[in-house]
């Protein structure tokens, strides 16, 4: 597949927590409270529970996530990166494993909500959770573009894997080293460093 240099990309998909914001989720604590084995994925585990248990635990998870969303702090350089892309007339989307309404709360908290159309903020109720390619494929369809014309920016293995599964380029941010060399096409220690590259 013929991919463009990301400096020429005009369609950008972002993960939320830990990418545009400082990572604050305590997943070990969440798993302990929800009685999920340490090695299991939270959303996959909850999906396989009986309905009553699933709803009760998802309700607790949503309340926990809402509290964190309201206290969100932007990651280093995130605001400047979004502003730059917006000024370049780039299309921007969010793909998160959180609920869509919590993504909106987070974006408001970091004063970035005006960069994103609500219809291009995909939460776990809008698409199969990452690492599935479903959310990316829906966004690509909305934009009516080819996979080669977009990129996903994230801080987690699931973000990058979803990009690979959808056949798009992947950018790892907010890690000093490239901890996922098989999944990340690009690596930058911060959104600030990514922006510096785009301006070259």
Residue 185's pLDDT band, with cuts at 50, 70 and 90, is very high
Percent of the chain with pLDDT over 70: 99
103 with 64, same domain? Answer: no
Which band of pLDDT confidence, cut at 50, 70 and 90, is reported for residue 52?
A: confident
Using one digit for the tens of pLDDT, what is the confidence trace for 125-158? 999 999 999 999 999 999 999 999 999 999 999 9
Question: 39 lies in a domain?
Answer: yes
- What is the mean pLDDT of the segment spanning 3-14? 96
The answer to the question of residue 1 being in a domain is: no
Contacts of 182 (CB under 8 A, 6+ apart): none
Mark whether 32 and 87 lie in a shared domain: no
Q: What is the mean pLDDT of the chain?
A: 95
- The domain total for the chain is 2
Per the CB < 8 A criterion, the answer to whether 194 and 81 are in contact is: yes
Write down the pTM of the prediction.
Answer: 0.88
Which pLDDT belongs to residue 1?
65
Asked if residue 116 and residue 181 are part of one domain, the reply reads: yes
CATH number at residue 119: 3.40.50.1000
61 and 160 housed in the same domain: no
CA separation for the pair 137, 13 (Å, rounded): 11
Same domain, 111 and 17: yes
Q: What is the mean pLDDT of residues 99-103?
A: 94
Statement to judge: residues 62 and 125 lie in one domain: no
Q: Is the pLDDT of residue 89 over 80?
A: yes
Helix (H) and strand (E) counts for the chain? Answer: 8, 6
Can you tell me the mean pLDDT for 100-108?
A: 96
Average pLDDT rounded to a whole number, residues 180-186:
98
CA proximity to 153, closest of 4, 13, 21, 38:
13
Indicate whether 54 pLDDT > 80: yes
Using CB atoms within 10 A of its CB, is residue 105 exposed (0-12), middle (13-18) or buried (19+)? middle
Structural domain of residue 62, as residue ranges?
27-70
Residues 89 and 66 in one domain: no
Residue 169, pLDDT above cutoff 90: yes
| One domain, residues 52 and 98 | no
Considering the domain architecture, whether residues 12 and 53 belong to the same structural domain is answered as: no
Of 129, 175, 150, 195, nearest to 11 (Cα)?
150
Q: What pLDDT is recorded for position 30?
A: 86
CB distance 11 to 90 below 8 Å: yes
């Amino acid at each position: 597949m013929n991919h463009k240099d990301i400096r020429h990309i005009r369609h950008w998909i972002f993960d939320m927590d830990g990418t545009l914001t400082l990572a604050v989720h305590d997943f070990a604590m969440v798993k302990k409270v929800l009685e999920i084995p340490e090695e299991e994925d939270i959303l996959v585990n909850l999906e396989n529970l009986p309905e009553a248990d699933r709803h009760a635990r998802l309700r607790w998870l949503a309340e926990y996530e809402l509290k964190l969303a309201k206290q969100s702090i932007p990651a280093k350089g995130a605001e400047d990166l979004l502003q730059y892309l917006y000024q370049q007339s780039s299309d921007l989307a969010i793909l998160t494993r959180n609920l869509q309404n919590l993504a909106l709360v987070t974006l408001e908290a970091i004063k970035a909500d005006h960069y994103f159309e609500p219809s291009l903020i995909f939460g776990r109720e809008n698409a199969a959770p990452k690492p599935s390619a479903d959310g990316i494929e829906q966004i690509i369809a909305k934009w009516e573009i080819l996979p080669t014309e977009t990129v996903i920016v994230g801080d987690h293995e699931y973000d990058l894997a979803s990009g690979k599964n959808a056949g798009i380029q992947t950018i790892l941010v907010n890690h000093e080293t490239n901890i996922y060399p098989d999944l990340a096409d690009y690596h930058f220690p911060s959104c600030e460093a990514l922006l510096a590259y785009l301006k070259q």
